[in-house]
A and B are shown apart, each in its own frame.
Chain A
């Protein structure tokens, strides 16, 4: 792990997150130190309420830390104002959600184009290629209602790729999908990782850990263990 890859990766020190105040305060993260290198494939697992989503959201810049430092892709976003975080996300991260969050009134192609248009990053001409890459070359003009769950999630992946992010963040990307479809998404993510994207997946699904370089277990707002995986399995072989 070289210094440069870390600098472009994720670098968290003493990260805490407290929701609410006083008696109602919830300490979602209680001092997390974590390094994720550029190009790494990381899976975050842990029991419900342990703080996985919070961690993922802070890395992706849609939530801010209470204390500690957050360096992502070479930028210190610990104290960045929400308006500036918008630029950070545009330049560095792509989100994939459990429920796809596609705009129902836009076709697959338009859902991806919309992001390019709205962020001003990426190339519209490349949109069909992105959809091609996720295996939807023949579904460009289909509306979400005409696509299966797996296809919709692949549109969401293509959408996340449209701004050419350094890091892809996926919170339960297979949660709404059946085994074969979920596996297809994981294969897709693995392929993207091979092409150099940093991938962080948050999941309850222990099996997903098999394909990661490292599995980070979060319990009660703290990192309980980090397991390295010298020879990650192919997504196609994973089962649950």
Chain B
């Protein structure tokens, strides 16, 4: 090892604590990147593996001559095609009546497309007629397992069926009935796979779905982002053949409700898995910059001497870059080492949480390389600036002791006149302006700390606020009910114990068409003076339902290109109508359309059902009371569906599970990082001023006062950084939130009045805590050594 390398190691050793802080920030950045980006890849891979293993359909179609559609698909290159029957009948499970879904399957063997994983019990007995396989979500919700019975409402009345097994299905990894109902009360939906023959018999209908498997789906899925996965040459040919054979409503795997929901869930994660580590690495870069800049400042005479002795600029440059390289390298290596198990942990936690049958944990070499490279690059970049300035040091500077030779400016002279301030206060004020680099570093540290904390906290509070707004200001009903019209349950509902008010509503699926596109959603009709739904305009004020026309979620304005007052085409099973969009609503969750009951009825088909919104009495908010109401209501003659709004919130939180976990980790890590950055800048500020401090200490100034003076200066710089940190942090939180926005979430940055003050206070506190090691550093200043170094 040559002398310069030895010096590099020794220098790093001399400021171990700061070096460790820098290495740890780099480590965290690299680790989070590898863990989250890796987990994102692994989660996609886990889905793919399950989909491939269970032959998840690439295309699903209804209509046409199903056998012909299937045959033509096979002829066009599909690797498998099946037909089956799917019906959504009322079901009775453990005293709860709901609208479930029954799907036909062969009893002798798993179908060629959309197989299931039997996780409890068995697959059908061959030739069975009254057995079902219950999808796992319903089994969990109702606590039903193999051997239990439940009832399915057939055209001839209730039939008893026995649960033969509990299964995972690729189509219901996320239990969504349709693209519009991805967040629903789990008690309101259940999927049962039943013998195909029985299903056709119970409902007296022929098969109504064709499902097709394309070759090499997984590859196609990875192949492109923009193209739909099935849009390979074969895929397009198959889809064309099916359409030609009379198939309608072709649905691709990407649009399949469960899959679409889960990929949206992962999408936000994808962005965060890059952006958050980037924040960490920036912070690490700043910390290493601060550290090395200080070192170079301190070593100016030494560098000058080396240069005077004829050292090449390149050598000096290399020497300091080497230190950054070492810090970055070690941090990055540790980050990779920790990122690998963290990736496995996150992947398994998620697949376990969502219930993805397969868990693929892989490490991606390119990702490890990227992590390593970025870690090292950050260390080197942080070192480069200081190293360049070191290599520019004029040899003559070796002759003068490190000193601030700048003439004082107007600010310094002004502060000098503020004689009412204690000298230490004046020094702090002046240093803040004169030592711009030091102030800048401290401010930067403050800003980064605030950005990291505010971004994670802001996302959390905004989503919490969105949920609160959605379920406390907008969806005012406690439950919704669908019943057969002829049953006339309105009065009976009002009599149910715990129900305070009942309002008639109208519900239906519609497709909206504007100049820029179409969008499918639900249309809900309310009484004109409804107390079940709060309509909040985009300007935040309350609006009322128009007599004529509809109100729409604001996402729609962009999506299909319309403005308030525009007329759009609204299509339902009742046919096409023109309707005016009177205004847009600010609803954080979901994008729906609303009208009065009268308007809604004129736009929707009469399906022989009517719906109601229920509000509960104040006493009926407990879990038991709500379960009681659910059981009572669902057992009323004619009631076909019941949704408890509170249960939807639970479902939403499940959807956000990954997000919550991520935010939690980020808040913790962000705080650690904020502390590390503050610590480095603060303690460097002390080391940088060793000379001054030693002089004061030599004169007998007590530690407390010297430390106090330094702390004052550090805190002044911190305070200066706070407004910037708050502004940039708020912006960053907003940007992260915006990346989440789609038709499901329209999030705006929201936090309590306390968030910004609390964040500012927290950072000040971190800065104050960092003064403690700083004070220790001051205590350890070897006065004699400093004096000797300076005094020959």
Contact = CB atoms under 8 A, between A and B. Distances in A.
Nearest to A63: B784
A157 to B, nearest CB: 12
A95 B427 contact: no
Contacts of B434: 104-105
Contacts of B407: 143, 145-146
Contacts of B696: 114-115, 118
A214 interface: no
A95 B787 contact: yes
A189 interface: no
B427 A110 contact: yes
B792 interface: yes
A141 B413 CA distance: 8
A97 B698 CA distance: 10
A114 B697 CA distance: 12
A29 to B, nearest CB: 13
A141 B415 CA distance: 11
B783 interface: yes
Contacts of B410: none
A60 B698 contact: yes
Contacts of B423: 106, 110, 113-114, 117
Contacts of B405: 104, 145
A206 B408 CA distance: 38
A117 B704 CA distance: 12
Contact of B700 (A101, A107, A121): A121
Interface string A83-100: 100111111011101110
B431 to A, nearest CB: 5
A53 B424 contact: no
A62 interface: yes
Given A105-B430, A143-B407, A160 B412 contact: no
B691 A101 contact: yes
B700 A53 contact: no
Interface residues of B, number: 41
Contacts of A86: 697, 700-703
A107 B423 CA distance: 10
A90 B699 contact: yes
A130 interface: no
B788 interface: yes
B436 to A, nearest CB: 12
Contacts of B700: 86-91, 93, 119, 121, 163
B416 A104 contact: no
Nearest to A94: B699
B310 to A, nearest CB: 25
Given A146-B408, A175-B792, A95 B698 contact: yes
B426 A145 contact: no
A99 B729 CA distance: 45
B427 A57 contact: no
Contacts of B698: 60, 62, 89, 95
Given A62-B787, A97-B695, A119 B404 contact: no
A180 B431 CA distance: 33
A159 interface: yes
A57 B413 CA distance: 36
Interface string A109-146: 01001110111110000000000000000000101111
A139 B553 CA distance: 72
Nearest to A171: B791
Contacts of A141: 413, 416
B178 to A, nearest CB: 69
Interface in B687-722: 691-692, 694-703, 705-706, 709
Contacts of A163: 699-700
Given A62-B783, A95-B787, A101-B691, A119 B403 contact: no
Nearest to B404: A104
A63 to B, nearest CB: 4
A164 to B, nearest CB: 12
A114 B424 CA distance: 7
A210 B705 CA distance: 40
A83 B424 CA distance: 21
Contacts of B699: 89-90, 94-95, 115, 118-119, 159-160, 163
Nearest to B789: A99
A220 interface: no
Given A87-B700, A101-B691, A119-B699, A53 B788 contact: yes
B790 interface: yes
Contacts of A106: 423, 426-427, 430
Nearest to B433: A105
Contacts of A60: 698
A53 B698 CA distance: 14
Contact of B784 (A57, A110, A160): A57
A120 B696 CA distance: 12
Contacts of B606: none
Given A53-B791, A118-B696, A175-B792, A83 B703 contact: yes
Interface string A31-67: 0000000000000000000000100010010110000
Q: Which of B695, B700, B787 has the most CB of A within 10 A?
A: B700
20 contacts: A62-B697, A83-B703, A86-B697, A94-B699, A97-B791, A101-B695, A101-B787, A103-B427, A106-B423, A106-B430, A117-B422, A118-B701, A119-B701, A145-B408, A146-B407, A146-B408, A160-B699, A171-B787, A171-B791, A175-B791
Closest 3 pairs (CB-CB, A-B)? A90-B700, A118-B701, A89-B700
Given A103-B692, A117-B705, A160-B699, 11 more contacts: A57-B787, A90-B701, A98-B790, A103-B695, A104-B404, A106-B427, A110-B427, A118-B424, A118-B709, A119-B700, A171-B787
